Amino acid sequence: MPAIAPPSSSLCGPSSPCGASVCADEVVNVSSRGALRRLPGPPSRRAAPAWRTLRLRALLVGSLMAATLVSGPAAARDLIVRTETGSVKVTEVASGLKNPWSLAFLPDGRMLVTERPGTMRIVGRDGMVSAPIAGVPEVHARGQGGLLDVALSPDFATDGLIVFSYAEPTAKGARTAVARALLDADALRLEDVRRIFAQNEDPSGSHHWGSRLVFARDGTLFVTLGDRFHQRERAQAIDSHLGKVVRIALDGSVPADNPLVGRAGALPEIWSWGHRNVQGAALHPQTGELWTHEHGPQGGDEINRTRAGLNYGWPEVTYGREYVTGRTIGEGETRAGVEAPVLQFTPSIAPSGMAFYTGDVFPQWKGSLFVGALKFQLLARLVLDGERVVHEERMLTELGRRIRDVRQGPDGHLWLVDETEGRILRLDPA
């Protein structure tokens, strides 16, 4: 499996998406198979005189400050950036959001936006941000937990239903849950809120909740679930919801054609297993299959065709390595009976949000798969030949912002959630 290498090979630091403490200054060499090898440091030199050292430091600091003023991450309202297929304008549509996580488009063009601390809001077409929507249940807003994804029912125009995922607090700890509710957008209120799914384990901790929501073409709902970090071995257990993708009906019932229905000792909701922390999911526009991406540990982020009844390996098979030590995890990178990823990223880009582009605003992008990145703060455009990734373009590095979600709007534009600045961004032709 070829690796996609980012413009930098530095490791995650204490602010890594998984929350682990890793030395960000360690120099490493990353091979196409994900192996890490320490490189020797520079040869020792005779110490320079103190006055010369101080003078050089002063010059260096001044140069760095000047470089930051001239070429630091862009925070302007609108920005023109170059891409391989032409210039693109990044337009700020809304700002002032707190840790925005996901968005869904309403039929009238407004957007339903989740904020991880536990608030849901509506953003108007003019960018006005509403007051909080009433009726959102209590969330476990710690670490990576809180209010997560949101999606409209396929029949929203007639039933008015939405679904949303969140970290649900329990007496023991917390778990990823999904609720459905009637949305009264004008009154800013959720009505008839019903929990339709919750993980069967609720460990302590604040990491790896997933969670993305995608409706299949048959109206069933895919829910992606994290392994909760310290319980990673449970990703291989089919009597656990940790580290799984599940498939349920809108009322929470189990579809009769789920792959593990009737299997002794297995949870019938499970669609696939062996996942670490899936934070991107979308249906392939031609095949209708579910594609997902998930965070690896130190390396080994994956993009997968997430098919029924398949094992995706974690933590027994992975391209990633242990934090800090760089040691091998599990048995290696491949194994019979484990589904190989379409693509893996080493080092990790920390992917979040995913969308296939099918619009007409950017005809040169039709058929491309877009993936946001938290750690490397960019938007990746993946060019596909069938189900193979044949090229990758790294875009919007000028922004220097964590891209939490990526959506194609009904207007054919590509929309982004900027988690760093609390903004909703739209890509326009320049």
Return the sign of the alpha-carbon dihedral for residues 222, 227, 228, 229. Answer: negative
**CA pair distance 235, 418, nearest whole angstrom:** 30
The catalytically annotated residue of 207, 208, 241, 413 is 208
The total number of residues shown for the chain amounts to 430
126 CB neighbour count, 10 Å cutoff: 8
- From 257, 273, 291, select the one nearest 225 (Cα to Cα): 273
Distance CA 362, CA 276 (A): 33
- CA dihedral over 211, 228, 323, 296, signed as positive or negative: negative
Choose among 165, 213, 185, 78: nearest CA to 124.
Answer: 185
Edge-first strand listing for the sheet containing 189-198: 147-152, 161-169, 174-184, 189-198
Q: Which two tokens stand for residue 227?
A: 């392994």
Query: Shortest CA distance to 313 belongs to which of 47, 32, 1?
Result: 1
Q: What would the two tokens of residue 121 be? A: 């809001």
Q: Is residue 230 among the annotated active site residues?
A: no
In this structure, the number of other CB atoms found within 10 A of the CB of residue 63 comes to 10
Residues in Cβ contact with 188 at an 8 Å cutoff, skipping those fewer than 6 apart: 122, 130, 131, 132, 133, 134
- Cα 121 from Cα 93, distance rounded (Å): 14
Q: Are 272 and 260 in contact (CB under 8 A)?
A: no
CA distance 152 to 186: 16
Coil/strand/helix, residue 294: strand
Distances (CA, A) of 359 to 214, 224, 355, 425: 19, 26, 11, 17
Residue matched to tokens 């407004």:
110
Q: How far apart are CA 296 and CA 298, in angstroms?
A: 6
CA 290 from centroid of its chain's CA atoms: 15
Nearest to 222 by CA among 295, 175, 292: 292
Helical ranges in 193-303 per DSSP H: none
Q: Are 302 and 294 in contact (CB under 8 A)?
A: yes
Q: Which amino acids are annotated catalytic?
A: 208
